[in-house]
Chain A
Amino acid sequence: MSPERCTRGEDREAFLLELRRILPAEALLSDAEDLRPFECDALSAYTVLPWIAVLPATVGQVQAVLRLCHSHGVPVVARGAGTGLSGGALPVADGVLLSLAKFNRILEVDPANRMARVQPGVRNLAISEAAARFGLYYAPDPSSQVACTIGGNVAENSGGVHCLKYGLTVHNVLQVTLLTIEGDLLTLGSLGLDGPGYDLLAVVNGSEGLLGVIVEVVVKLLPLPETARTLLAAFDGIEAAGDAVAGVIGAGLLPAGLEMMDKLTLRATEEFVHAGYPVDAAAIVLCEMDGMAEQVEAEIARARQVLAAHGALEVRESRDEAERRKFWAGRKAAFPAVGRIAADYYCIDGTIPRKRLAQVLGRIGELSEQYGLAVGNVFHAGDGNLHPLILYDASLPGELERAEALGEDILTFCVEVGGTVTGEHGVGVEKLNPMCVQFSAPALRQFHALKEAFDDKGLLNPGKAVPTLARCAEFGHVHVHGGRLRHSELERF
């Protein structure tokens, strides 16, 4: 699509002229060359060149941009660091791409109240770095934490290794200041542990930029744990490893991290980072305990027993901080490591009830054979959050489509066993079809009604996160599971 004219009939030059009145020249990008860096997020299979990109530096400027867009009916897509994996920050061709990159200041760290007030473009890890001198940190730790922004984390309700014990972004954010598409500034939540009125803060977490533009976030900080120790357990079957994970939780333990890797991923990472992993194992489980020294000691001993009782071939315990880091180095580098052994990979993100781990991993193995594409598994096992990596080669005709079809089958199976189509990466543009599998038409209608309460013209991040009913009807038509038509209540074409 030509970026020259907005499909809504808006004249680009005239609109730029109006934007120039509210933004300094360097905050406004309109040449194709300047727009190129914004054409996709980390899901690079989808690209769209934005109509115009803006990089405001003050809340007043964001407000003015939003008011202008609202009055002209121009769509707006907010963007943090662009590390999203579901195309959430994918531009729309007739809309403004609003980068929050200049909002990168930590406004305040308040150790007495254990909170930090930050701008949305602050990197996740930067918050913990700033809090460290007070003995505090910010718990949610997506693997992308060196790059991703807190605004993006709130919009995606991001999680990470720590989330089993310390919760997701939604559990660690106290207050969000939001601009509506009409330019109204709203404060949701409070500096206490709850806010007045409806819990709209909960709704904004994970709303994928559809409800407003986040301009300030107050996060909760936690005391840095006195000690952390990690167990590395090797298993001769992936199912046994899955059962061991359920066993740890069932024993009443709440690890600070409970992660799993299969053989394929294990070997790829070992070659890449030399973490000393037992490469002959079919799977490994990493189990970390943190807290007071005496507590960690007691919990590690208990976890060791449980893992052994579930048939672990070997359980290693980190002897010092260096070894603990080494255990994690492989897990943290798993994605790039797999990237080295395949031309391309496609990362899925489903969540399932923990006790189904073994069953779902078995099914993924079958599907992998059926499609003739290798699948590596590395995931937040304690949360039941899977990240199967489908290996493919985009240069071979039809392989991308096969990878996508395999991914969709995996997600559908996740829903069938009582899970969900996305645990942390969001729906974006990627999982619109699987959303039709998970939600009924009336539920989707309720999502749209809620969206309208915030954004009646539907200008914020249009076409993302919630599929239209028409799309689902069309998708349902081609997508028949087990001979049964899903959602027969939907009108079909």
Chain B
Amino acid sequence: MQTRKPKAGTNKYVRDLMLNKYLYIMMIPVLAYYVIFHYAPMYGALIAFKEYSPMKGILGSEWVGFAHFKDFFGSYYFWRILKNTIVISLYSLIFEFPAPIILALLINEVRSKMFKRVAQTITYMPYFISLVVICGIITDFTNADGVINRLFMLMGYDGQAMLQKPQLFRSIYILSEIWQRIGWESIIYIAALMSIDQEQYEAARMDGATRWKQILHITLPGILPTIAIMFILRMGNLLNVGFEKIILLYNPVTYDTADVISSFVYRKGLLEFGWSYSSAVGLFNSVINLVLLISANYISRKVNKSSLW
């Protein structure tokens, strides 16, 4: 942007500011957003080290040091919720993360434009249904006399209330998650597919590559940077298992496999008024996420040459 010749004598920062003033003005709202909504609230993380009482305020409350962290690590349920959080996250990384990529590839291979559009619309529809409704549907479908069980019964199996089986909870969670998000998340990959140079395919066909070979050697490498970025972003949220859905679906009998850090934080913080305890647990969660994000980014930069920063 620095096309005009700067006047001599003035400080170079001021000069830069003068020259690009419109760009800087345009940046203000974005900066303000981050400061107000992302950095200022970090001050509230202080309460993790205090016995917070809203009436005394954050500064007025008593310091308790690491007491809440100790309570959490020493808690009877600590290992269970940590394990569940990690397991559910890993499962969704393994099963849910590739699903939209596969869908995008499949849609890309279809010739009929009409079919493409219809398939896309149908798959991303569930994303717009409210979560509460989704969970209501899941509960009804998995009931002892729900649709899914009726199908099993037709095949000669016994019907059983699936949400009462701890061993089925994760499968139900991940499968419904895929159903809900696959179409929506595939959009970004489809967009990436569009940008691949069509001439490469022509050249490959000339050389006698089958469709499968084309996918393997042109399409996949073409969207690999997108996949890598999405993967890194995902790592940063690895431990943030969506608590709303867990809370709507779990019950005491499935705590064993369903209770995760965020649902635990919800119960402690909102139902038992343990603000400080909750934010200590939340802070712990965020620190781990940060570490995961940084390492994923580092590995990706080394291996893949594409990274977030």
* A, B in one complex: no
- A-side residues, CB < 8 A to B, are none
